[in-house]
């Protein structure tokens, strides 16, 4: 199975950086992945040296502001374990790590609030086990694969994304028991191993969304990111001081949320079957997903979520968690129609109350 197309491009001004250079990053360096044997041709275990880590765990690596004032939180793969200064080339030689060098270049030229960067990346899913509620929690994020300092400001500073996948759900947004006119969609993307990864999107018009696609359609979808305030908004109040009036803000309930907004896309793919021997696959042949593949992908996702939750339970109980930790048999069953409410894995939680554990 082909992995889903997944690409994000961001241009904006760097507002915050949450990276620090350390001397004790320890990594197993690999290169030369062979898809047939599913092994690396080159490997160097236990390399130790300089690298970048998060300064404050749990916060994004970068925050980049677009021209519309949207703050894009940007993650870096494996930054929790450290981004090493070195890597291996295809022949197994020790070389400079391009990701490390790009961060080094950015920080050497950085002026917060002024430096403009171009970022290539993808939409990723971050899932951890919530032991207290006996479930898994997922958050979708932007992960950078390349960061470069812009030589000049582009025509627009914004986020543009594009993915392929299957529409699992399409529903009208309802607030205070009334439809808002907006549409909500869950789109399943797929890894090369066939596992389904769900992402949530919003469309400004439910009518236009359903005119374009239906549940079960495989399609290419374009999106951007917007921020929206939920709850009471801050209200200015005047406070008289010695030299005139100063505007202050009341402390109110509410928060800013990030929404992934569907901006367009292409008509649903048709099932064109498999390409003939020796022929390159068409886009539809690569990205059309059958009902059987959806069922298998959701089952694979349920198993992954169970493993994550079980490992969180092990950690909360003081048991060493590993990828080989036994997992209870999944009680998740995918119906003949796999499109509907997301599957929820069932794992027995510990009887003693434990704090939320992160995987």
CA 84 to chain CA mean position, Å = 22
Asked if residue 314 has pLDDT above 70, the reply is yes
pLDDT tens, residue by residue, 198-231: 999 999 999 999 999 999 999 999 999 998 887 7
Task: Give the confidence band of 186 by pLDDT, cuts at 50, 70, 90.
Answer: very high
Query: Quick check: 261 pLDDT over 60?
Result: yes
Pairing of strands 135-149, 71-76: parallel
pLDDT at 25 exceeding the cut of 80 = yes
pTM of the prediction? 0.81
**Three-state SS annotation for 48-85:** EEEEEEECCCCCCCEEEECCCCCEEEEEECCCCCCEEC
The whole-number pLDDT of residue 232 equals 67
- How far, in Å, CA of 319 to CA of 307, rounded? 14
CA 82, 85, 89, 91 torsion-angle sign: negative
CA 146 vs. chain centroid, Å, equals: 15
pLDDT band at 324 (very low <50, low <70, confident <90, very high): very low
pLDDT of residue 348: 39
Sole residue written with tokens 């990594």: 27
pLDDT of res. 24: 93
Q: Convert the pLDDT of each residue in 52-68 to its tens digit.
A: 999 998 899 999 999 98
pLDDT on residue 231: 74
Give the dihedral of Cα atoms 99, 102, 103, 107; nearest 10 deg.
170
Cα gap 314→319, rounded to integer Å: 5
Higher pLDDT, 229 or 331: 229
Confidence at 256, pLDDT banded by 50, 70, 90: confident
Mean confidence (pLDDT) of the chain: 85
Using an 8 Å Cβ cutoff, are 231 and 254 in contact?
yes
Closest CA to 114 of 145, 139, 146, 149: 149
Distance (Å, whole) CA 329 – CA 347: 8
Domain spanning 158-288, CATH class: mainly beta
Q: Pick the closest to residue 100 from 63, 147, 133 (CA basis).
A: 147
- pLDDT over 70 percentage in the chain: 82
How does pLDDT run across 106-163, given as a tens digit for each residue? 999 999 999 999 999 999 998 889 999 999 999 999 999 999 998 777 666 889 999 9
Q: How far is residue 220's CA from residue 239's CA, in Å, rounded to a whole number?
A: 53
Whether the Cβ atoms of residue 325 and residue 314 lie closer than 8 Å to each other = yes
pLDDT average, residue stretch 337-346? 50
Neighbours of 353 (CB within 10 A): 9
């Amino acid at each position: 199975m082909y992995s889903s197309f997944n690409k994000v491009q961001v241009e904006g001004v760097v507002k915050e950086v949450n990276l620090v250079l350390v001397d004790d990053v320890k990594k197993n360096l690999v290169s030369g992945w062979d898809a047939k044997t599913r092994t690396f041709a080159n490997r160097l275990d236990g390399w130790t040296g300089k690298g970048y880590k998060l300064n404050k765990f749990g916060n994004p690596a970068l925050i980049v502001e677009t021209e519309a004032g949207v703050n894009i939180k940007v993650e870096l793969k494996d930054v929790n374990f450290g981004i090493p200064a070195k890597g291996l080339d295809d022949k197994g030689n020790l070389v400079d790590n391009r990701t490390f060098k790009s961060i080094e270049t950015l920080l050497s030229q950085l002026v917060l609030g002024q430096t403009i960067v171009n970022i290539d990346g993808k939409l990723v899913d971050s899932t951890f086990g919530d032991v207290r509620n006996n479930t898994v929690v997922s958050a979708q994020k932007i992960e950078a694969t390349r960061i470069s300092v812009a030589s000049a400001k582009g025509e627009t500073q914004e986020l543009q994304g594009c993915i392929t996948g299957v529409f699992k759900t399409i529903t009208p947004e309802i607030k205070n028991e009334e439809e808002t006119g907006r549409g909500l969609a869950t789109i399943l993307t797929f890894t090369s191993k066939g596992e389904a990864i769900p992402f949530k999107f919003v469309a400004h018009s439910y009518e236009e969304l359903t005119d374009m696609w239906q549940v079960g359609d495989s399609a290419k979808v374009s999106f951007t990111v917007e921020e929206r305030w939920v709850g009471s908004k801050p209200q200015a109040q005047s406070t008289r001081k010695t030299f005139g009036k100063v505007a202050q803000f009341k402390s109110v309930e509410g928060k800013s949320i990030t929404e992934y907004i569907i901006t367009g896309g292409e008509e649903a793919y048709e099932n064109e079957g498999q390409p003939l021997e020796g022929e390159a696959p068409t886009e539809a042949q690569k990205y059309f997903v059958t009902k059987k593949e959806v069922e298998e992908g959701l089952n694979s996702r349920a198993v992954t979520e169970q493993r994550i939750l079980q490992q969180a339970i092990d950690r909360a109980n003081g048991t060493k968690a590993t990828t080989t930790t036994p997992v209870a048999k999944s009680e998740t069953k995918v119906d003949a129609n796999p499109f509907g409410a997301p599957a929820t894995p069932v794992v027995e939680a510990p009887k003693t109350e434990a704090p939320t554990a992160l995987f």
